[in-house]
Structure 1
Amino acid sequence: MPSKPKNRVGEVYGKLTVVRISERRTKSGNAFWWCRCDCGREREVPGDKLSHNTSRKKPVVSACLQCSRELQIESVTIKNDRDEVRRREEAQCNRRQLQGQVPDSWLRLPLTDAHARELGQVLFFRGTRCLRNHLAPYRINGGCLACAGQKPSA
């Protein structure tokens, strides 16, 4: 018979507040706890997944399933935005070095594929060479125009 678990009622882990103990146990004998999320939903969580230690290797539960998905999507979105800013800065730097070497019309194109989509355009110019060493604009659906035979390489 497993020992009686420490009373965690009232403790807060991320968005979850422990409400009551559950009847269930994990295979290793840890108690499950019913927790209420800030959004009002309840979730049954094993006691070994409730922790304040964010650097531990074991996964930690800190929100209900719906809020966890939202937090995950938010994290991915923030990372993608950060990466896009970095790509645009690199493209600007590359294009500054190419002034006078490539047509001015290329330098007026959007910086990245995401930037082109925002502006409703099909072409963009990053200022980098393709795998075949062409220096030319790209289509947003992929592909160097010089490789496609549509525009000469600079």
Structure 2
Amino acid sequence: MPSKPRNRIGEIYGKLTVIRASDRRTKSGNAYWWCRCSCGREREVAGDKLSTNLNRRKPVVTACLVCSKELQIEGVCAKNDREERKRRAEAERQRMALKGRVPDSWLRLPLTDAHAREQGKVLFFRGTHCLRGHLAPYRINGGCLACSGQKPSAHEH
């Protein structure tokens, strides 16, 4: 017979507060606990998934299923925002090095495809060479304009 689990009632793990023990056990013998999320939903969680240790390698449960999904989406959005800021900073740096060597109209274009979408534009200019070596603006859902024959590359002046 498994040992009696330590009483976790009242303990808080992220958005979850342990409210009562469950009759279930995991295959390894850990007890399940009923937890209430800060949003009011309840969730049954295995005791070995409840932890406040942020450096823990095993996955932990810190919210109900709905809030967990929202937290995951927020995390992905924050990561994407950080990466977009890096892309824009890099594009700005590359474009500054090209000032005077490319048309000024290209330097007035948005920095990245996401930047172009925000402004409702179709073209953007990062200041990088395409796979074929052209230095030209790009279309949002396409490629280099020089590759499609719409604009000459800056190297072909």
Q: Normalised by the size of structure 1, how large is the TM-score?
A: 0.98
Which runs of structure 2 are paired with 1:2-151 in the superposition (5 Å)?
Answer: 2-151=2-151
Q: What is the DSSP-based 3-state SS (H/G/I as helix, E as strand, rest coil) of the residue aligned with 1:68?
A: helix
Query: Where do 5+ consecutive residues of structure 1 fail to align?
Result: none
Q: What is the DSSP-based 3-state SS (H/G/I as helix, E as strand, rest coil) of the residue aligned with 2:147?
A: helix
Which amino acid in 2 is paired with 1:64? C
CA deviation string 1:63-92 (max 9, x = no partner): 000000000000111111111111111111
Matches of 2:118 and 2:9 in 1, distance apart?
A: 49
CA deviation string 1:83-140 (max 9, x = no partner): 1111111111111110110011101111100010011110000000011111000000
Matches of 1:4 and 1:92 in 2, distance apart?
A: 61
Query: Where do 5+ consecutive residues of structure 2 fail to align?
Result: none
Q: Percent identity?
A: 77
Which amino acid in 2 is paired with 1:42? E
Equivalenced residues, count: 154
Q: Normalised by the size of structure 2, how large is the TM-score?
A: 0.97
Aligned Cα root-mean-square deviation (Å): 0.6
Which amino acid in 2 is paired with 1:138? Y
